[in-house]
Amino acid sequence: DAKTTQPPSMDCAEGRAANLPCNHSTISGNEYVYWYRQIHSQGPQYIIHGLKNNETNEMASLIITEDRKSSTLILPHATLRDTAVYYCIVRFWNSGNTPLVFGKGTRLSVIA
């Protein structure tokens, strides 16, 4: 799986949008971008994933650049409960049964 680069930490004011960037410049055409988060020693929580098109669900939006070399996870209205470590991971589309490889992620602090 390709490697990703994320900033080690970010702050966001409560109620504002949190935009978490991820670089994956060596991504190949058949690799998805996955986002997970881990809230203080709980199990990692799946957020969203995408291949080429932008994706949105009840938790977040995922914006992938046209060249697919970077993406942004958007939490539209951050709350204190969104404070967590966020992981961006790339994974082959047909690797339905292969493990995820976690990097260091971005520690997001939502501030009141």
For binding to other proteins (CB under 8 A), which residues are involved? 34, 38, 41-46, 49, 96-105
Nearest approach in angstroms of CB 40 to other proteins is: 11
Distance CA 56, CA 7 (A): 22
Nearer to other proteins by Cβ, of 105 and 108: the residue is 105
Partners of 64 in the beta sheet? 71
DSSP label at 43?
P
Nearest approach in angstroms of CB 68 to other proteins is: 19
**Maximum Cα–Cα distance across the chain:** 42
> Length of the chain in residues, anyone?
112
Nearer to other proteins by Cβ, of 80 and 101: the residue is 101
Nearer to other proteins by Cβ, of 1 and 82: the residue is 1
